[in-house]
Every structure is written in structure tokens, then in C-alpha cells.
Structure 1
Amino acid sequence: MVKAAIFDLDGTLLNRDESIEKFINTQYDRYKKIVGHIPKDKYVTRFIELDNRGYVWKDKVYQQLVAEFEITDITWEELLQDYINDFKNNCIPFPNLIGLMEELKKRNFRLGIITNGKGQFQMDNIKALGIEKYFDSILISEWEGIKKPDPQIFKRALEDLNVLPNQSLFVGDHPVNDVKAAQNVGMIGIWKKDHQWNSVEADFIIADLAELPLIIDNTKKLNVPSC
């Protein structure tokens, strides 16, 4: 019987693509007197390109932006600090996030998050989504000293939740760091569809968080042992 659900954050619970676009638009507006010599669509597009969906930390992104656009009245460090301070105010959840959390708690599921990233920054985003209260374990790579796909961070979450791997499922948008990594430790790996990949091997695939309860009801199809 599945007793626990563990989630990735960015691209799974947090709609990071929409959130980053919202943030960078508002940042441009805040600093228009300084960056107004750059067309807004060019500033926004270049930031998103350099960000590479979060795989490049923003110190490098802002250093590149400042150099390319010849921004002189504000430092890259100040722009980075603005990002750290304000991104949480632009967090957009995927549809049905709170409804799913409520449903899983009604079922007495133990819930966890494993996310790569900066500790306080990611925790601020989790709080901004209003979901911190639902989780029994939140592991953020900077604070843990290990990151996905390292199996140890998955095992640490399982220990926190006091469940076996075959009593647990992991939901994430990355085929390797999330799905395959979870399967490698014996968990059920569920891929939340992402336009970056066309075909992903997973135990189950969902396009919407609201589909997860039905997936849980059907986990016997995987011949998951009763515990």
C-alpha cells in the first residue's frame, strides 16, 4: 500500500516558467529608469534564455545581462538581491495544487518535498505557495549537502517519513533527476508532463496534479507489495 507521496518543486508544484516570466517583467518595470534603454521584450527574453529554466544560478545571469546591455546605474549584485527578495512574490502554482494537498491529507498520506536549489530561497517559495503546512519533510539540496539525482537525498526523505521505498511515490518533471532517480531507490516514479521532453519512461504519467489520486488508486497495477 502506498503511504507517502514526495514531490519535486519547480515544474511540478510551482509553475516556474510562468513565475519567472512574471518576475522578470515586474523587475523591469521597477527598474525602468535604469534599464529603460533596453526594450522590455529583449530584456525579458534574454533573462529567460540565460536562466535556462533555473539550471543557471542568477549571479551568472545578471553578470551576463549587465555586460551585454551595458547597464551602469545598478550592479549585478543589486539585481540578484532583488531577485532573491522578490521572486517569492511572483510564485504561480500549477492548477489544483491545494486541492491535491487536501485530498492526500484526507487519505492520511505522509508528504514530502525534495528540491534542488538554494535553501532559504526555495523555502520562501514553498511558503508563498501556501503549502508548507501540508508537508512532513522538506529537503532542499543546499541545506542537505546533496542533490537529486543522488539516491541519498531520496533515502533521507523516506527515513523522515518512516516509509519504505515501495510504499512511496515520487512526482517530478525531470526524467532523470526525478523519475529515474526515484525508481532507482525503489519508489514509484511519476512524470508530470513538461514540454521540454516528448517521451519519458515512467511508472505513470500525469498532465495535471488532479490526476494523482486516481493514479494512487491504480498503483496495484504495478504489483506493489502490500505493506
Structure 2
Amino acid sequence: MQLKAVLFDLDNTLMDRDYTFRSFAQQLVRECLVPMDEARREELVAEMIERDKDGYRPKEGFFQELIDWLPWREATSLQELKAYYDRHYMTHAKAMDHTEDTLQACREKGLRLGIITNGHSHLQHAKIDRLNLRRFFDVIVVSGDVEIRKPDRRIYELALDRLGSLPGETVIVGDHPCNDIWGAAQVGVRGIWLRRKHDWDESLEGGKPWRTISELNEISVLLEQ
């Protein structure tokens, strides 16, 4: 079938979450913790990144762990830390390299574009708007809006229905082996795996990526195929 549509994951696919979280963590350590030298600050930032598990941990549990573990200048509450996160996290948002050029190239090919992302509605929509990406997309499906999360097959079926494309006419681009590539493969959508932090999970059967890339600007060449 002729390719008609491309679905994209958001975090660590279109938005450079690694950069965004690290930059936010550096601000928190600098502003909210007891004075320390640069080496110790970087140790704490690295530990925060490790404990965050690439954003796949529930936020309240992660924030409570930070409250219990970090050396705060002043005692803080879960509510105060959540408010600090909401105020500052998105100010560090950065698009992945080649994002706009890649999306523009897809549009110029006449492809319909969609985002399919897990997360809280207000946060995911804020990321999209902060990066000025909404203008490229025909469809945006956020798990918090529809109460279905990847890799549940229904969220891919919903995205396809809204795009008006069949599985064989669609590819998905994402960094997570299960949530992006394997999950979409269960409904017949081919996956372009953007290699970031995650290794391929060999226990995932029936969902290997169609292609593997290291940078988004490789997509234009693949789509010519």
C-alpha cells in the first residue's frame, strides 16, 4: 500500500526529554538544595536521572522519594515540589534535533501526521505547544485525554481512525520498544525505532521494527522507500 500517514511518539522522539529533565534537575539542585560544589551537584543530578527512569515512574512516588532523599535548604512538601515542577519543567523543553525539518518534509510529501503519547493531558499538550509543534499535526492522541495508554491496541486504532488511514498505510516513529514499536505492530503498523536509552527487548515477539534510526533526519530517506 502507498504510505499515507506517520505517527510520532512525543517524549524522546520529538521532544528531547533527556536534555529537558537534566536541565530541570540542574535548576532544582542549584536553587532548592543546600550549597555544595559543582561535582556534588552533578552527582545528585545523575542520581535524579537514574531514579526518574526516563519518566516512566509515577510522579507522586518519584517526588516523594526526592523529598525524603535530597538535602533541601528548607523543608518542602509534595504539593510544593509538584508546583515547582509545574512552574519550571516546561521552561527547559527542547525539540529533538531535526524535528521541524523532518515534520516539514513529511508534510511536503502530502502525508498526514499524528502524535500518540502517554502522559497527563496538561503536561503533554503543554510540551507540544511550548515546542510549537501543533501546527504540523492533523491528529494528537494523549493517553490522559482518552484514558487508554500505549501499548493498549485501542489507542493505535483510535489514532488510525482519526487519521483516516489503514495500518498498512501508516508507520510510527518512537523510541520505546514496547510502547511505540511492538504495540503498534499488534495492529499492523510498521515501526521506525529511534534508538535512545532503551535496548531492544528480545522477549517482544511479533513486533520487530521495520527500520532503526539514530536521528530524525534519517526518516525522509526511509519514506522514499
Q: What does residue 207 of structure 1 align with? A: 214
Aligned partners of 1:30, 1:136: CA distance in 2, in Å?
A: 40
Indicate the SS of the match to 1:186: coil
Distance, in Å, in 2 between the alignment partners of 1:98 and 1:77 is: 36
1:168 aligns with 2:166: no
1:183-222 deviation digits (Å, cap 9, x = unpaired): 111111110112431677311111111111111111xxxx
Q: For residues 199 and 206 of structure 1, do their structure 2 counterparts lie closer, same or farther at Cα, with a shift above 3 Å needed?
A: farther
Write the distance in 2 (CA, Å) between the matches of 1:128 and 1:178. Answer: 23
Aligned equivalent of 1:225: none
> Out of 33, 36, 43, which is 2:34 matched to?
36
Letter in 2 for 1:3: K
- What letter is aligned with 2:195? K
1:25 positional shift: 0.7
CA displacement at 1:144 relative to structure 2: 0.9
Aligned to 2:205: none
Between the two proteins, the alignment pairs up a number of residues equal to 215
State the secondary structure of the residue aligned to 1:117.
coil
Note the alpha carbon deviations across 1:30-57, whole angstroms, 9 max, x for none: 32xxx11564224322321221110113
Identity within the alignment, %: 30
Q: Secondary structure at the match of 1:113?
A: strand
Tell me, in whole angstroms, the C-alpha distance in 1 between the residues paired with 2:146 and 2:200.
32
CA distance in 2, matches of 1:197, 1:50: 18
Q: Which amino acid aligns with 1:118?
A: H
Aligned counterparts of 1:178 and 1:114: Cα–Cα separation in 2: 9
Contact preservation (8 Å) 1:59, 1:77: no
1 CA distance for matches of 2:71 and 2:85? 19
Q: Which amino acid aligns with 2:65?
A: Q
Q: CA deviation at 1:2?
A: 0.5
Aligned residues: CA RMSD: 1.7
Corresponding residue for residue 221 of structure 1: none
- Superposition TM-score, scaled by structure 1 size: 0.89
Taking structure 2 as the reference length, the TM-score comes to 0.89
Return the offset for 1:59.
1.7
* 3-state DSSP of counterpart to 1:120: helix
Matching residue of 2:58: 57
Q: Which residue of 2 aligns with 1:150?
A: 152
What is the alpha-carbon distance in structure 2 between the residues aligned to residue 152 and residue 18 of structure 1?
A: 31
Alpha-carbon distance in 1 for matches of 2:84, 2:58: 14
CA deviation digits over 1:106-146, x for unaligned, max 9? 11211100111111101101111111111111111111100
Instruction: After TM superposition, give the deviation of residue 88 of structure 1 in Å.
Output: 1.2
> 2:110 is paired with a residue of what secondary structure?
coil
Equivalence for 1:73? 75
- Unpaired runs of 5+ in structure 1? 219-227
Task: State how far apart, in whole Å, the 2-side matches of 1:49 and 1:213 are.
Answer: 33
* Equivalent pair of 2:175/2:198 in contact (CA under 8 Å): no
- Residue type of the partner of 1:176? C
In 1: Cα distance, 2:198 partner to 2:160 partner: 29
Q: Which runs of 5+ in 2 are unaligned?
A: 203-207
- Counting only pairs closer than 5 Å after superposition, residues 1-227 of structure 1 correspond to structure 2 as 1-31=2-32, 35-37=33-35, 39-69=40-70, 71=72, 72-197=74-199, 201-218=208-225
Given that 1:47 and 1:61 are in contact with CA atoms closer than 8 Å, whether structure 2 keeps it comes out as no
